[in-house]
Amino acid sequence: MKRQSDHSHNDATLVALTVAEAARRIGMGRRTKLYEYVSSGEIASVKIGRLRRIPTEALADFVARHNTRADFDTAA
C-alpha cells in the first residue's frame, strides 16, 4: 500500500506542501537548503499541529522574488 505523499508531488491541487514536496516542486535537490529558507523566514510556512507546511502561494512568492536577471547570470 502506497502512502498518500508518494503521489503528492504530482498533485497540483495541494495548497500546502511538506518541505520535501516543496523542494521537488521547484526542482531543488537539497531539502536542507529549503529548511534554511523556512527557518530564516524567507519562505513562509505554517504549523498545523506538529506538522510544518509550506503554502503553495509562499513557494510561488519565493520563486518570483528570485526570478531576476542577476539570479540567471550567476547560475552555473
CATH number at residue 51: 1.10.10
Name the one residue in this structure whose C-alpha cell is 552555473: 76
**Structure confidence at residue 1 as a pLDDT band (50, 70, 90):** very low
- Predicted confidence (pLDDT) per residue in 9-55, tens digit: 566 678 999 999 999 999 888 788 999 999 999 999 999 999 999 99
**Structure confidence at residue 76 as a pLDDT band (50, 70, 90):** low
Burial of 35 (0-12, 13-18, 19+ CB in 10 A): middle
Q: Could you give the 3-state DSSP secondary structure of residue 64?
A: helix
pTM for this model (two decimals): 0.70
* Nearest alpha carbon to residue 18 among 57, 52, 56: 52
Q: How many distinct structural domains can be found in the chain?
A: 1
Q: Give the pLDDT confidence score for residue 2 in this predicted structure.
A: 47
Domain membership of residue 64 as a residue range? 4-73
